[in-house]
Chains A and B, each alone.
Chain A
Amino acid sequence: MTAGTDALRPIRNPNARRRRTPIGRWFHYNERLALGLVGLVGFILFWEIGSRVGFVDAFFFSKPSSILAAGINEVQLPRFWTDVEASAFEFVTGYALAVALGVPLGIAFGWYRRLSYMADPWLNLFNSLPRIALLPLLVLWLGLGVESKIAVVFLGAFFSLVIPTVQGVRTVDRRLLDVARSFGASQRRLFTSVVAPSTVPFIATGLRLGLGRALIGVVVGELYAQTQGLGVMIFKASNNIQPDRMFFAIILLTATGIVGVEALRRVERYFDRWRPSLEEAT
Chain B
Amino acid sequence: MLTEGIALSARGVRMEYRDQTTRDRLVAIEKIDLEIAEGEFVSIVGPSGCGKSTFLKVVNGLLPATDGEIEVRPGAKGIPHATVFQDSSLFPWYTVIGNVSYGLVCKGVSRREAYERAKPLIKLVGLDGFESKYPYQLSGGMQQRANLARALTVDPELLLMDEPFAALDAQTREIMQVELLRIWSKAQKTVLFITHQIDEAIFLSDRVVVMSARPGRILADIRIELPRPRALELKRTPEFTAYEDEVWKLISSQLASMGVGGEGASVTDAA
| A is bound by B | yes
Instruction: Using A178-B62, A179-B89 as known contacts, say yes or no to A184 and B107 having CB atoms under 8 A apart.
Output: yes
Expressed in whole angstroms, the Cα–Cα distance for A175 and B134 within the complex equals 18
Q: Which of B25-33, B41-49, B90-98, B164-172 contacts A (4 or more CB under 8 A)?
A: B90-98
A274 touches B106 (CB 8 A): no
Instruction: Using A175-B85, A179-B89, A183-B82 as known contacts, say yes or no to A193 and B61 having CB atoms under 8 A apart.
Output: no
Expressed in whole angstroms, the Cα–Cα distance for A189 and B83 within the complex equals 18
Q: Which residues of B contact A181 (CB under 8 A)?
A: 62
B106 touches A178 (CB 8 A): no
Any chain A CB within 8 A of the CB of B177?
no
Q: Which residues of B contact A275 (CB under 8 A)?
A: 92, 136
B82 touches A182 (CB 8 A): yes
| Interface residues in B93-115 (C-beta closer than 8 Å to A) | 93-95, 102-103, 105-107
B62 touches A274 (CB 8 A): no
Any chain A CB within 8 A of the CB of B60?
yes
- Majority secondary structure, A binding face: helix
Expressed in whole angstroms, the Cα–Cα distance for A276 and B136 within the complex equals 7
B88, B92, B94, B106, most chain A CB atoms within 10 A: B106
Any chain B CB within 8 A of the CB of A185?
yes
Tell me the smallest distance from the CB of B219 to a CB of chain A, in Å: 28
Instruction: Using A175-B85, A176-B91, A178-B85 as known contacts, say yes or no to A183 and B136 having CB atoms under 8 A apart.
Output: no
Expressed in whole angstroms, the Cα–Cα distance for A180 and B82 within the complex equals 11
Q: Which residues of B contact A178 (CB under 8 A)?
A: 57, 62, 85, 89
Tell me the smallest distance from the CB of B73 to a CB of chain A, in Å: 17
Contact of A182 among B60, B94, B95, B134 (CB under 8 A): B60
- Majority secondary structure, B binding face: loop
| Interface residues in B154-191 (C-beta closer than 8 Å to A) | 154
Expressed in whole angstroms, the Cα–Cα distance for A178 and B58 within the complex equals 12
Any chain B CB within 8 A of the CB of A186?
yes
B91 touches A182 (CB 8 A): no
Expressed in whole angstroms, the Cα–Cα distance for A198 and B136 within the complex equals 15
A179, A273, A280, most chain B CB atoms within 10 A: A179
Using CB atoms, name the residue of chain A closest to B147: A179
Size of the chain B interface, CB-CB below 8 angstroms:
25
Using CB atoms, name the residue of chain B closest to A276: B136
A197 touches B62 (CB 8 A): no
B91 touches A179 (CB 8 A): yes
Instruction: Using A175-B85, A176-B91, A183-B82 as known contacts, say yes or no to A274 and B102 having CB atoms under 8 A apart.
Output: no
B93 touches A197 (CB 8 A): yes
Any chain B CB within 8 A of the CB of A264?
no
B102 touches A183 (CB 8 A): yes
Expressed in whole angstroms, the Cα–Cα distance for A181 and B82 within the complex equals 11
Expressed in whole angstroms, the Cα–Cα distance for A280 and B138 within the complex equals 12
Type the 1/0 row for A199-212, where 1 means its CB is closer than 8 Å to any CB of B: 00000000000000
B89 touches A274 (CB 8 A): no
Any chain B CB within 8 A of the CB of A194?
yes
A274 touches B107 (CB 8 A): no
Q: Which residues of A contact B137 (CB under 8 A)?
A: 276
Using CB atoms, name the residue of chain B closest to A186: B106
Type the 1/0 row for A253-282, where 1 means its CB is closer than 8 Å to any CB of B: 000000000000000000001111000100
Using CB atoms, name the residue of chain A closest to B104: A183
| Interface residues in B38-96 (C-beta closer than 8 Å to A) | 57, 60-62, 82-83, 85-86, 88-89, 91-95
B154 touches A183 (CB 8 A): yes
Expressed in whole angstroms, the Cα–Cα distance for A189 and B104 within the complex equals 12
Expressed in whole angstroms, the Cα–Cα distance for A80 and B92 within the complex equals 49
B92 touches A182 (CB 8 A): no
B136 touches A182 (CB 8 A): no
A189 touches B93 (CB 8 A): no
Using CB atoms, name the residue of chain B closest to A197: B93
A274 touches B82 (CB 8 A): no
Expressed in whole angstroms, the Cα–Cα distance for A73 and B8 within the complex equals 83
Tell me the smallest distance from the CB of A122 to a CB of chain B, in Å: 26
Contact of A274 among B83, B86, B136 (CB under 8 A): B136
Instruction: Using A178-B62, A182-B60, A274-B136 as known contacts, say yes or no to A194 and B89 having CB atoms under 8 A apart.
Output: no
A194 touches B91 (CB 8 A): yes
Using CB atoms, name the residue of chain A closest to B61: A182
Q: Which residues of B contact A276 (CB under 8 A)?
A: 136-137
Expressed in whole angstroms, the Cα–Cα distance for A182 and B103 within the complex equals 9
Q: Which residues of B contact A193 (CB under 8 A)?
A: 91, 94, 102
Contacts A183-B82, A189-B106, A274-B92 known; list 16 others, CB within 8 Å.
A178-B62, A179-B83, A179-B89, A180-B106, A182-B60, A182-B61, A182-B62, A183-B103, A184-B106, A184-B107, A186-B106, A189-B105, A194-B91, A197-B93, A273-B134, A274-B136
Chain A residues in the interface with B (C-beta under 8 A): 175-176, 178-186, 189, 193-194, 197-198, 273-276, 280
Chain B residues in the interface with A (C-beta under 8 A): 57, 60-62, 82-83, 85-86, 88-89, 91-95, 102-103, 105-107, 134-137, 154
- List the 4 shortest-distance A-B pairs measured between CB atoms, nearest first: A197-B93, A274-B93, A183-B103, A183-B106
